[in-house]
A and B are shown apart, each in its own frame.
Chain A
């Protein structure tokens, strides 16, 4: 299997470990990714706040280039990219004037978009294309005894619940259980981490991240599993600041793909685990300590 791939800016920066681990586990499962040539920033939530027409045009270049390359699907692992590209696809289908504006802009670059690209998330591909059985076959080091809080965050299930439920998503729960982990019942799985508010208005943003960690701790979780580079940044890089404000919460946050890699027996370094600021260790034996 081969999937067209839209990395997005974060996976080349703060979220490098997400790309490293995702590529490693997909390769292990026999899936290769083909990067969209000369992709550009999706615009995220920030551009949408400034000018929505430009935001739509910016994002549309990616879908148009994907279509021209003959791709019918585009894998977008970052939550913001996934939502923005999906939202554009919806807007183009729903609002003829947005479609017109986008087409007019694309024409300036000799591009065109017929609307044929389906934006997909890695969890969607893993569960609905590759399948849990194929994943189970690859597990050589089951994550037995590891209690994981599955953190979906906002933007992969809202406002468009394309492959999972908007209120009670379960795809990551099923995946983690397949790896042998114990999935903790944790009602905050789709609550907001604070997004960029952690940097702009820390009093508000950090509190949201703190609530996630605190509740995970109360529920006995050893680790949070995330799908989003921004959630990971908030929970990992601001961890020290959160502890400074509210006291110790010894819970690391890792990407779900990193846990997959560990269960597949891949090396922690290959999965980018050495990039975590809060080191991840198995509860009983400190075997996965980061170098």
Chain B
């Protein structure tokens, strides 16, 4: 974590755009929403961090070799392409893109998951892929602007 969450909020308010969007901190939010329900000022911190992550990806300034944004992008690409996620392929993609050694270290887990029938290798996909693709194409012109309110990043 390069900044604490409080520092991120302060940096956003003080217009330190690059520092915020290039930080690793925003990606370390696991979306547990604990802060959101606890914040006495009802600030939707999780949603603000989502907005920052989206902006970092749109502007292409996210930390390139940090596995979290890589996983998010691979996940989204697979969901767009097939309509469903096949976890085995997603994990393989993540590790080959970011950390070969992690892949080698995980062979034991991989084998155990195959043995117990949990690591399915048959790719999952929906039948009406055209329907989904047409829907997503309709958003193309709007996705450049965030429709959720907060996060003053200029």
Contact = CB atoms under 8 A, between A and B. Distances in A.
Contacts of A200: 67-68, 71, 94, 98
A237 B115 CA distance: 12
B135 A155 contact: no
Given A196-B30, A200-B71, A201-B28, A49 B57 contact: yes
Interface in B45-95: 46, 50-51, 53-54, 57, 67-69, 71-73, 75-76, 79-80, 83-88, 91, 94
A105 B36 contact: no
A171 interface: no
A110 to B, nearest CB: 8
A49 B120 contact: no
Contact of B87 (A10, A57, A166, A192): A10
Nearest to B99: A200
Contacts of B34: 154, 158, 190-192
A230 to B, nearest CB: 10
Contacts of A237: 109, 112-113
Interface in B106-143: 108-109, 112-113, 116-120, 124, 126-128, 131-132, 134-139, 142-143
Interface in A25-44: 38-41, 43-44
Interface residues of B, number: 62
A109 B143 contact: no
Size category of the A interface is 35 or more
A107 B137 CA distance: 12
A54 interface: yes
Contacts of A3: none
Contacts of A50: 53-54, 57, 72-73, 75-76
B94 A49 contact: no
A12 interface: yes
Given A58-B132, A154-B32, A192-B30, A16 B117 contact: yes
Contact of A54 (B44, B98, B143): B143
A60 B44 CA distance: 22
Given A9-B84, A13-B119, A167-B37, A106 B32 contact: no
A195 interface: yes
Main secondary structure of the interface of B (DSSP, over half): helix
Contact of B139 (A43, A61, A101, A201): A101
A158 B33 contact: yes
B7 interface: no
A202 B124 CA distance: 27
A197 B68 contact: yes
Contacts of A108: 134-135, 137-138
Nearest to A80: B31
Contacts of B143: 51, 53-54
B36 A159 contact: yes
Contacts of A38: 126-128
A238 B134 CA distance: 39
B149 to A, nearest CB: 8
A41 B85 contact: yes
A105 B50 contact: no
B87 A53 contact: no
Contacts of A240: 108-109
A61 B88 CA distance: 24
Contacts of B135: 57-58, 60-61, 105-106, 108-109, 111
Given A98-B147, A200-B71, 5 more contacts: A16-B117, A40-B83, A158-B32, A199-B91, A200-B98
Closest 3 CB pairs of A and B: A46-B75, A192-B32, A158-B33
Interface of A: 9-10, 12-17, 38-41, 43-54, 57-58, 60-61, 95, 97-98, 101, 104-109, 111, 154-155, 158-159, 161, 166-167, 190-192, 194-197, 199-202, 204-205, 237-238, 240-241, 274-277
